[in-house]
A and B are shown apart, each in its own frame.
Chain A
Amino acid sequence: MTVRDLQRLEELSSAAALGLWADDVVLALDRATSGSALAETDATLLSDAAEILEAALQRTEHPLATPKSARGLAATNTALTLVATLVRKQPGTNQQKILRAMASILREVGQGSVTQDAAERVHPVMELFGMIGEHQLVASNSVLAFRKDSKAWTATPSMSSSS
């Protein structure tokens, strides 16, 4: 009937899974660019990561087009928030440019096309997915400790009635 401990465990699992996945992407990028043959599981992982960034890009172009799965929605929400942070740190760029470039790198590496400058090019992608991993570690610790970050902008007292 309502949210209690049981859903909290699912929330913990979802938060942890997204963080683990993001960190797996970092590890897979390292393996893929360090000279060893690309494993099928890594290729799938990198393709999945590219898809998430492409879905986030699509959301910036068509705000009503949200992913159908809860995992996709959560992953793109987090990616968009963190890419917005990167944009603030790098004046002159924008969310769409960053998302498009990173998705493209992930596609290239995931298809085994590793250029000489690959290690350098994947570095910002690793940084973004590392940020997602950090963000989710905080999130899952918060769930475990029963602390939920307040969603201030959704709880504005300026809401008014409408019939």
Chain B
Amino acid sequence: MDGDALDVEFLLAAARHEIGALRDDRRLNPLPGKRGVALRAHVLDLIGAVEHRITQQPAPTAPPPVRRAFARSMRQSIVMLRGAHAALPWLAATRTPNVNLGSLYVTEECARILVGTNVDLIVVPDPEFMYSTTSWPFSAVVNTTSGFTPKNTRRPIVLNYPLSDADRLLLHPIFAHELGHSSVDEHHLVAAVETELDNDSAFTAALQDTVNDMAANYWTAAAPTQISGTLRGWIRDWIEELLCDHLAIEAVGPSFIWAFALFVLPLGYGEPGSEHPPNTVRMKMALDHLTRRGWRPYMKRVAPGVTAWLDQIAGDAPGSLERPFAFLRDQLMGHATVLQDVAIGRSGNDAFDASASEGPANEAADLLRRLILPVGLTNPLEARAILLGGWQQAFQEHGDSPAGLILALEDRRLQELVGKAIEMSTIAVAWEPTP
């Protein structure tokens, strides 16, 4: 019977077995160096939390609902421990990283700017063709364990990239968007935007109208509370995605919008989803943010054709949309400066500055044109400026057109030079000769 003595005895043995299976796995052994150490500690905290739960077993005389609750908590813990096996390949990947080292250095710089210094960054390939991220994957369970104190305080961040993109550096500014998710979580940025929206009576009036309209005409079986909760969840997801785009622009400038166009436009155009705004809307809001941050003249100079194409796509943002997506789109486009302000506030003085970066990007592009490693003629160039110069040279070499973007992605030589230069420049900056 659910929660009786035999059931609990069985579940305790099963939980201990799952703990043993994780602990005994060689991939959970201590790691050399720093990479992956926080993730490993986080997995051990999950195990510790479950071990703590095991000690909370109620007396055999406890009422049946209480014994069933404990049995359920053991089952829930076992489900979670099985899920935790997903982390083991990531730990193994830290021993043999295969993403381009230059790309890894830029990504670490973006993590420092957007999230903070106390992070453990793990970049792993995904057999499926998608970029994604997670950080603190087990924290919800660990933190909900009353009376248990986790040991790990450093944020583990796992970035997934398509296996085929390991050396496609021109796409790697997408990592900055992915790190945006960790930044949003760490610094409560969605709540910052939502508070501004809630303070605007026009927003709350529009939300009320939309809830009423959905209840009357579309989701007729649902209560207004349910509809409101769903719309809130969707708007938060859209805010997060848009914030991540803005944060990526703060971190790497126009390199992001070009990588974004290259990766997402072959997959979709103006279709909305509950978790993602349409690409047309994302494009419009990203371009407006780049313009505000002074990048527009540079973009029009190095890639006038591509910029005009992206503007054309952004021009479709206000087009017809299904209910309730039109509400989400209109409200967020109407509050574009709120999103921009939050991203600008997060990046602070570490934002990739248009006026200071154009010269170094020109230098990097010029060196690449002459097939010279673009580390810098007099001083090491900043990694982000080398990446931007790589894009600049890509337009020169492969054409300032949508098809030119694709050709640029196929240019392995250019991307190898960019990656190697970033690697050398990072080492040159960090190098401190022994006295």
Interface residues of B (CB under 8 A from A): 53, 56, 58, 62-63, 65-66, 68-70, 72-73, 75-77, 79-80, 82-83, 86-87, 126, 128, 130-134, 137-141, 143-147, 158, 160, 174, 177-178, 191, 194, 204, 207-208, 211, 217-219, 221-230, 232-233, 236, 263-264, 274-276, 318-323, 326
Contact = CB atoms under 8 A, between A and B. Distances in A.
Contact of B139 (A13, A130, A153, A162): A13
A121 to B, nearest CB: 14
A98 B176 CA distance: 47
Interface string A59-95: 1100110101111010011001000000000000000
A17 B144 contact: yes
A2 B134 contact: no
Interface string A146-163: 000000011010111111
- In this complex, the interface size class of chain A, counting residues with CB under 8 Å from chain B, is 35 or more
Interface in A1-56: 1-7, 9-10, 12-14, 16-21, 23-24, 26-28, 30, 34, 41-42, 44-45
Given A5-B160, A80-B225, A26 B128 contact: no
A30 B62 contact: yes
Contact of B73 (A20, A63, A64, A163): A20
27 contacts: A1-B132, A1-B264, A2-B130, A12-B79, A13-B137, A16-B80, A16-B140, A17-B143, A19-B72, A19-B73, A20-B53, A20-B145, A27-B69, A41-B146, A59-B225, A63-B227, A63-B228, A77-B229, A126-B69, A130-B72, A134-B72, A140-B79, A141-B79, A144-B82, A162-B320, A162-B321, A163-B321
A156 B132 CA distance: 29
Query: Counting chain B CB atoms within 10 Å of each CB, which of A71, A127, A133 scores highest?
Result: A133
B76 A23 contact: yes
Interface string A114-130: 00000000010011011
Contacts of A144: 79, 82-83
A4 B233 contact: no
B218 A1 contact: no
A10 B134 contact: yes
A137 interface: yes
Given A9-B86, A10-B137, A30-B66, A21 B144 contact: yes
A27 B58 contact: yes
A144 B69 CA distance: 21
A1 B80 contact: no
B65 A158 contact: no
Nearest to A30: B66
A156 B219 CA distance: 7
B73 A133 contact: yes
A159 B214 CA distance: 9
A130 B69 contact: yes
A20 B141 contact: yes
Contacts of B263: 1
Contacts of A162: 320-323, 326
Contacts of B276: 2
B253 to A, nearest CB: 19
A6 B75 CA distance: 22
Contact of A73 (B208, B221, B229, B319): B229
Contacts of B65: 26, 123, 126-127, 130
B214 to A, nearest CB: 9
Contact of B233 (A3, A18, A73): A73
Given A63-B211, A73-B232, 8 more contacts: A13-B83, A64-B228, A68-B191, A143-B83, A154-B219, A162-B321, A162-B323, A163-B321
B86 A5 contact: yes
B126 A4 contact: yes
A1 B130 contact: yes
A152 to B, nearest CB: 9
Contact of A7 (B132, B140, B223): B132
A7 B139 CA distance: 13
A24 B140 contact: no
A66 B76 contact: no
B222 A153 contact: yes
B431 to A, nearest CB: 35
